[in-house]
Amino acid sequence: MATRQHSILTIDGVAALLDALRRRGYRVIGPTVRDQAIVYDDITSLADLPRGWTDEQGAGRYRLARRDDDAVFGFAVGPHSWKKFLHSPAQRLWRTERSADGVRIIAEPVSAKPLAFVGVRSCELHAIAIQDRVLLEGAYPDQHYRARREAAFLVAVNCTEPGGTCFCASMNTGPKALGGYDLALTEIAAEGERRFAVDVGSAAGSGLLAELPHRAATPGETAAAEAAIAGATGRMGRAMPDADEVPALLRRNLDHPRWEEVADRCLTCGNCTMVCPTCFCTTVEDVASLDGSASEHVQHWDSCFTMDFSYLHGGSVRASPRSRYRQWMTHKLSTWWDQFGTSGCVGCGRCISWCPVGIDITEEVAAIRGSDSAARGREG
C-alpha cells in the first residue's frame, strides 16, 4: 500500500483535538484509568488520558502497570468496548400509559448528543462495522444505534503496543486502521517528545484537522510510524491458528470431545459475551406499575450463556454448558460467516483476558485442530 502523506500533531495538538471536538458539541469519550484498569469514559482534557500507563494481559488476568515512558496510547484494549456507548447495555424502547381514553404507546426518542470516540483501535473499527451489519442492515434497523452511530466521530489510534491476548494480526483486523475512521493517529517518540502521525479518513476529519496546529510529517516520522505498527504485528500475544480454515474446521467437529472438556472449566457466567465488541444479543424486560396504569419496555444486553436465553415452553434448549460454549464459539468463528458474511471475532482478546477462569478461544481452536485429521493433513 502506498504510504499516505501524514500530518504531525504534538501533544498540544492532541489537547487541541479534544477541545475542538467538545466545541463542536461532541460528548468526548476515550481511555482513562479507573478501578485498576484502562476503561472508556468521558474525557475532559489530556490529563484524563492514561499517559504513562499500560496493561499486562493474559488468560483471565489483567494488570494495570506503569510504563517507563510517557506514551499516551501505550496499552491494548481493556474491559470496555465502544458498544457500551453505541449499543447501550440498557435502552428503553417504548412505554405505555393507560388513561380513560385507552392505552397510549410512546416510543423512546433517540439520543441527541453526538459522540466522539478517541482511541478506537483497528480491531474495534472492525467490530463496529460488524455491529453496523447486524444492527442496521437487517429488516428492522435499530433506531437508537443508528442515531448514535451516524453522528459519531471516530479518532482511531494505530496499535503500537499489542497486549498479551491480542490476535488481530491473524484475523486480518489490525493492528493498522485501514478505514472507517475520521482521523487516525500513530504515536511515535522523537527528540524526547510524543508525536502523533495523523491520517485523514473523512471530510469531517479533514475539516477538524484544519483547525488544529499541525505540520507535514518528515519522511523519517512517516517511516517511524509505519515501523511502530509493523513492530506491533510481530508482538501479538496470541494467534488464531489457520484462521481461514476455522469455519470449516468447527463445522465438521461439532461432536469433538474438546467441547466437553471446555465445559468442565466454563462457568457459563457470560463474561466473554459481555466484553466481546461484536456480541449483540439482547433481551427486553417489561416493567409494569403496580396499578397497571403504565409500563416500560427496556432492552438489556443478554448472553447465550444464560439458561433464560434459550428458554422455550418447557425448558432451555441449550441446557448443558457444553452446548452453550459450543454455540458461542461456533457462532463467533463459523456460523457468523453464514449469517453475516464475516467472522464474528476480530481478535481483540477481551474474552480471553476477562474470562474469570482464563478460557482461551485460540487455544480451544488449536485443540480441536490438533486432532482433526483434515487440518493435520494440510500441514503435512
Partner 1 sequence: MAAASARRPRLAVWKFASCDGCQLSLLDCEDELLMVAERIEIAYFPEAARRMLPGPYDLSLVEGSITTPADAERIQRVRRQSRRLVTIGACATAGGIQALRNFADIREYAAAVYPYPEYLETLATSTPISAHVPVDFELRGCPIDKGQLLEVIKAFLADRKPAVPGHSVCIDCKRRGNVCVMVASGTPCLGPVTHTGCGAICPSYDRGCYGCFGPVAGANTAALAKEFAALGVARRDIARLFQTFNAAAGAFRDEAERHGD
- For partner 1, which is the closer residue by CB, 6 or 83? 83
The entry of partner 1, ligand SF4, none near residue 89 (CB within 5 to 8 angstroms by kind) is partner 1
Q: Is 353 in the site for partner 1 (CB under 8 A)?
A: yes
**Smallest gap from residue 329 Cβ to ligand SF4 (A):** 8
From 91-99, 133-141, 185-193, 274-282, give the range in contact with ligand SF4 by CB under 6 A: 274-282
Smallest gap from residue 277 Cβ to ligand SF4 (A): 6
Q: Is 351 in the site for ligand SF4 (CB under 6 A)?
A: yes
Contact 254, 337 (CB under 8 A): no
Cβ-based neighbour number of residue 260 at 10 Å: 14
Distances in whole angstroms, Cα of residue 40 to Cα of each of 12, 30, 50, 83: 21, 5, 11, 11
**One residue of 349, 365, 369, 372 binding ligand SF4 per CB under 6 A:** 349
In whole angstroms, the minimum distance from the beta carbon of 154 to partner 1 comes to: 20
Taking CB under 6 A as the binding criterion, the range among 17-25, 92-100, 213-221, 271-279 that sits at the site for ligand SF4 is 271-279
CB of 235 to ligand SF4, least distance (A): 17
C-beta pairs of 68-73 under 8 Å, 24+ apart in sequence:
69/189, 70/194, 71/161, 71/187, 71/189, 71/194, 72/11, 72/14, 72/46, 72/187, 72/194, 73/31, 73/49, 73/119, 73/157, 73/160, 73/161, 73/185, 73/187
Q: Looking at residue 314, what DSSP letter applies?
A: T
Task: Report the site for ligand SF4 in 247-266 (rule: CB under 6 A).
Answer: 266
Minimum distance, C-beta of residue 217 to partner 1, in the bound complex (Å) = 36
- Binding to partner 1 in span 30-69, by CB under 8 A: 34-37, 39, 60-64
d(Cα 294, Cα 277) in Å, to the nearest integer? 34
Q: Which of 1, 139, 290, 312 binds partner 1 (CB under 8 A)?
A: 290
- Residue 157 binds which of partner 1, ligand SF4, none (CB < 5-8 A, kind-dependent): none
Among 373, 1, 15, smallest CA distance to 194 is for 15
**Alpha-carbon distance values, 276 to 20, 124, 364 (Å):** 31, 10, 17
CA 307 – CA 291 distance, rounded (Å): 31
Does position 114 interact with partner 1 (CB under 8 A)? The reply is no
Q: Which of 154, 134, 155 is nearest to 145 (CA)?
A: 134
- Positions touching ligand SF4 (CB under 6 A) are 266-272, 275-278, 305, 332, 345-351, 355-357, 359, 361
